[in-house]
Amino acid sequence: MELHFRDLSSHEEFQNFIKRAKDENKKLYLEIGYGSGIVLRKRVEKEVDVLHMGLEIKGKFVKKMKKYTEKYNVENLYVEKADAKYILPRFAAENSFDKIFIYYPDPWWKKKHKKYILFDYYFIADLYRALKKGGTLNIQTDVVDYFELIKSKFEYFNEFKECDFDDIVALENSSTFEIKGLEKGHVLSKIAYKK
Ligand SMILES: C[S@@+](CC[C@H](N)C(=O)[O-])C[C@H]1O[C@@H](n2cnc3c(N)ncnc32)[C@H](O)[C@@H]1O
């Protein structure tokens, strides 16, 4: 079988945007799995002095967000089609982000799909590494059992301390999956942790 090597250069832009925040001495926020991107766009438009990044595994959402940045000449946002679990530990420098947001992550209830669940111990450690000291991780979900699972995993990490949810934009605007959850009568939960 022919060997296929990963194209590591394709993540240069991702790394350069992180570096840009350092060079320009700007805050840097990251949303993982932004989906239709309602909240990400609102945040980009409200927090203009901040540099924003978005990681999304589905190409159609990345295309849509790239169209938006091109149409409105948005310079404070960079999005990439990538699996956050792959790219964060390999290409995000330590102490990069002031805030990370993960809203309504997909739950994987089937046993054989458990390996795809976003919040495993390695990923939590990767998030910790990528956050700046004092940086926050904001999480929302409409799945009560998933919320409990997330909390139980964070309890293992003494380094993360629970803190106030600090994404004003998400408090003022509902994401697509938040709206869906509300329509289904789900309980919405939010939590935040500080490094
Ligand atoms: C249930 S949707 C929520 C979308 C959006 N945050 C919202 O609240 O409407 C979960 C999103 O996470 C994305 N996603 C899942 N796993 C991911 C990963 N490992 N890296 C990046 N994005 C991921 C999916 O493609 C999907 O768009």
Q: Would residue 4 count as lying in a domain?
A: no
Residue 3 belongs to a domain? no
User: What's the pLDDT band for 6 if we cut at 50, 70, 90?
Assistant: low
Q: For the segment 83-102, what is each residue's pLDDT rounded down to a tens digit?
A: 999 999 999 999 999 999 99
Ligand 1 midpoint to CA 186 (Å)? 18
For ligand 1, what atom is nearest to the CA of residue 140? 8
Evaluate if residue 161 carries a pLDDT over 70: yes
* Confidence label for 107 from pLDDT (cuts 50, 70 and 90): confident
Domain holding 55: CATH number?
Answer: 3.40.50.150
Residue 43: inside a domain = yes
Rounded Cα gap, residues 140 and 5, in angstroms = 36
Phi then psi for residue 99, to 5 deg, are -145, 140
Quote the CA–CA distance of 174 and 132 in Å, as a whole number. 27
Both structure tokens of 23: 């060079």
Q: In which band, very low, low, confident or very high, does the pLDDT at 15 lie, cut at 50, 70 and 90? A: very high
From residue 170, alpha-carbon distances to 45, 65, 115, 137 in Å are 13, 18, 28, 13
Asked whether residue 2 is domain-assigned, the answer is: no
If one counts the domains in the chain, the total is 1
129 occurs within a structural domain: yes
In a domain, 7, yes or no: no
Please give the pLDDT value at position 86. Answer: 92
Mean pLDDT across the chain = 93
Domain boundaries, position 132 = 12-194
User: Shortest CA distance to 104 belongs to which of 14, 45, 195, 36?
Assistant: 36
In a domain, 82, yes or no: yes
Q: What would the pLDDT profile of 62-75 be if each residue is shown by its tens digit? A: 999 999 999 999 99
Token duo for residue 74: 């948005």
- Count of helices and strands (H, E) across the chain: 8, 7
Report the separation in Å between the CA atom of 60 and the middle of ligand 1, taken as the mean of its atom positions.
Answer: 12
Q: Is there a domain that residue 157 lies in?
A: yes
